[in-house]
Chain A
Amino acid sequence: MKILVVDDSAAMRMIVMRTIRMAGFTGHTFVEAGNGLEGLDMVETARPDLILLDWNMPKMTGLEMLTRLKEQGKDIPAGFVTSEGTPEMRQRASDAGALFLINKPFTVESFQMALEMVMP
């Protein structure tokens, strides 16, 4: 499985990828993007099977990126990894088609719970 991690923090992308491996999901490949616009480009070039999105990013937010993908008819499984964990934001994520929202700061267990339904 190819996983696209979209976050404006290179350090956070590093930690997300490491946590996925620590959660037991090994053997997958990762591609990265630093904001929603770069993420849209990466969807075209890398064709990911799963997208993990930060919410607040410069140039284009994760929510805007997911909305744009849905408008383009690209139904790629996606979820948020974000510090925006209020019930309102969870609802907005769900309404936009996100399958899960992992709240920062996160644990390995929170990744296991969120990803076991979308990753083999």
Chain B
Amino acid sequence: MSDLTSTPSLWLEALVGALDEFALVALGLECDASAPKPAPTNADLLGASVDITTGDVSVRLGFLSTAEGRLAITRAFLAFGPDEEAPPEELVQDVIREIINVLAGGVKQRMTDTAPGDFWLGIPHELSGMSASGTAKNLASTELKLGGVPARLVTILEHRVT
């Protein structure tokens, strides 16, 4: 295992880079690294996560936003016009899971460049703000704005028992 892959902040940096690219290419939105004020509370945040593993390290990559934010991001992702009805919650969850899936692919590409090795992606799952918070050394997160709506990116690193 590379020391690099044991650094949560390095994974977070790759995740931010992947979101920057995704926002531009797929959403047509600006990704603004300045934190929203006030920052949303953990209870207000919901999103999705996917695990990426390499060697004995497993990293959970998370993307979270508020209900309004997730709706706005979904509308942008699906290129909904202003007159189109709001997408149902099931479709919103599907879009958020797909977004973290695409971001994970971007992280994998970036980490492969940084620390060559085998990286394996899992299947996306729902993630709550409450379960993706804390100050543990294995967790790194950043608040940002995506097209003006609040979002949080999270990386949670675990050493797998093999």
Contacts and interface: CB of A to CB of B under 8 A. Distances in A.
Interface of A: 8-12, 14-15, 18, 56-58, 82-86, 88, 103-107
Interface residues of B, number: 26
Nearest to B101: A83
B105 interface: yes
B108 A56 contact: no
Given A83-B101, A86-B108, A105-B22, A10 B91 contact: yes
B26 to A, nearest CB: 4
A89 to B, nearest CB: 9
Contacts of A86: 108-109, 112, 119
Contacts, number: 58
A8 B109 CA distance: 22
Contacts of B30: none
B78 A15 contact: yes
B95 A11 contact: yes
B105 A104 contact: yes
Contacts of B21: 105
Contacts of B106: 83
Nearest to A103: B105
Contacts of B25: 105-107
A86 to B, nearest CB: 5
Nearest to A8: B123
Given A10-B94, A11-B94, A83 B78 contact: no
Interface in B15-45: 21-22, 25-26
